[in-house]
Structure 1
Amino acid sequence: MIGMVVSDVDGTLIYKGSHLNTTRFPVMLSKLSERSVPFAVATGRHYRELKKLFGKSIRDLWCCCCDGAYVISNDSPVYSLPLPTGCVKAFFESFAGDGKNTVVFHSIDVSYILGNSYLVKAKETSRVGNVKQIFSLSEISDDIFFVSLYGPCADSYEAPQGARFSYKARGVCEFVNRNASKYGAVKHLAGLYGLSDKDILFFGDGENDRELIEKCGTSYTTYCADKKVFVLTENHTRDCIGTIIRLCDEKTIDKTNTK
C-alpha cells in the first residue's frame, strides 16, 4: 500500500532549476486527493521559498523543511527541532562586529541579519525573504531553525556544538540542529496519518535523501541524482510529477490497494 507521497524539491519536482509545472502539479494533487493520499515535500529549502514556488497549492501540502528541522502545514509547525540557544549565541558571538561575513538567523517567517553586513549594504536582502536587521540577540523573538553564513568563512567555519552542516557550497554554509533529519521529520509526519515509512513513496536525488531512499517502502531517484544515491534503488525517472500521475492512473498509488 502507498499511503503517502513525499518528494525532494530541487532535483525532482524542479529539474535543473526550471519552474514548477503549474499545469500538471494541481492535476497531480487532485489525483492524490481523490485517493486520500497526502503529498509532502522534504527539502532543505526555507518555507518562505516554498510559498513563493507553490503559490496557492501550498495549502494542500505538508512541508518538511530545512533538512528536517521542522514540519509545517497551513503555516503551523507540527514538529520542530530548533537550534539550541547556545548554538545561536555561538554564531552571534563569532560574527558580531564582523564586516566580512554575514550571518542570517532563520525562523519560519523572519530572517534576522546580524549587523550592518555586506548583504545589507548591497541591498541584497531580498534573497533571504522577510528581513529584520539586528544588533543584539534580544531582538530575536522566534525559534531559530537554521543559520546561513555568507562570506569568506562560509567554506571553513566549524559548526558549534549542537549544530550540523545542512548545506555547504562556495560562498554559503547552512546549519541546523544536529538531530534534525529529513527521515525523522517524514517519519513523524507519516505517524500523524497512522502510517509507517514502509507506506511512503519517496522521490529524491541528493546525499541528504539517502536515509529516506533506503527506508521508505518505494523510492525513486532522478537520472541526474547523486551517483551514491542513484544506485540505492532500481526505480528512476526523468519526470517526478508525470510518474506520480501515471502511478495514480494505474492505481498503484491508492490506499485501498494493499498489493
Structure 2
Amino acid sequence: PLSINVATFQSELRKLKFSQLIEATNGFSAASMIGCGGFGEVFKASLKDGSCVAIKKLIRLSYQGDREFMAEMETLGKIKHRNLVPLLGYCKVGEERLLVYEFMEFGSLEDMLHGRTKSQEGRILTWEERKKIARGAAKGLCFLHHNCIPHIIHRDMKSSNVLLDHEMEARVSDFGMARLISALDTHLSVSTLAGTPGYVPPEYYQSFRCTAKGDVYSFGVVLLELLTGKRPTDEEDF
C-alpha cells in the first residue's frame, strides 16, 4: 500500500492514554458532545496542558471505524497545512479508536450557513468572510492534490467537512474516506462508494472510479452552497 513519504511535521503526534480522554470529557458526557454521525461521536475537551481540543471517538467493533482511523493516521497524521485541521494526537487501546484535533471555534461551514447550533443562529457570513473561506478550502484541497507524494483524494468534500477556526480560516477535515494515489495514476478504482449525496459527481455512481477531479466537483457544490446559502439537497428542489 502507498504511504506518504514527504511529510511536513511540525511536531510528533501525541499518543494519549484512554484514561486522560475519559477525564478530559467527563466520561464522554452528553454535555461535552458537540457532534455525532455514522463514524461515531465528537467531544469538546480541555487537556491538562490547557489546550482546547476536539476528540473523535470512532464506533467500536467496527471495521469501518478502524479503517477510518488508519486513513486519518496515514494522511492527516503525516501532513501539516494552514488549511487542514490539525491532528494533534490519538489513542488506540483494545477496541477503542480515538483521534484528537485542535478545536475549531466556529464549528463547520454547514453549521455556520444553516444555523445548526445555538451559538451560530442569526450569524450571517459577510461576503469577505465567504471569499476567505472559499480561498482557504481551495488551498487545502490543492495541497492534498498537488503537494503530497503520493497525492491524497479526500472523497468526502462537503460543507460539514470545512471547519472554521477563531480567525474564520477554513480547515478541510475528516479524512476517514481519503485514499492515497500515485502521481502517475489518473484514477483509483474502489469497490465501495464514498461521499455524500448532492456532493458526489454523478459519474462516480457508475464508474466506481475516484479522482482528484471528483473532489473539485464536490468543492464546486460547496461554493454554490456558500454563495446561495442553500443545501445541495434541499427538499423543495426535488
Q: Which TM-score applies when normalising by structure 1?
A: 0.28
Higher RCO by CA contacts (8 Å cutoff, separation 6 or greater): 1
Larger Rg: 1
Q: Which TM-score applies when normalising by structure 2?
A: 0.30
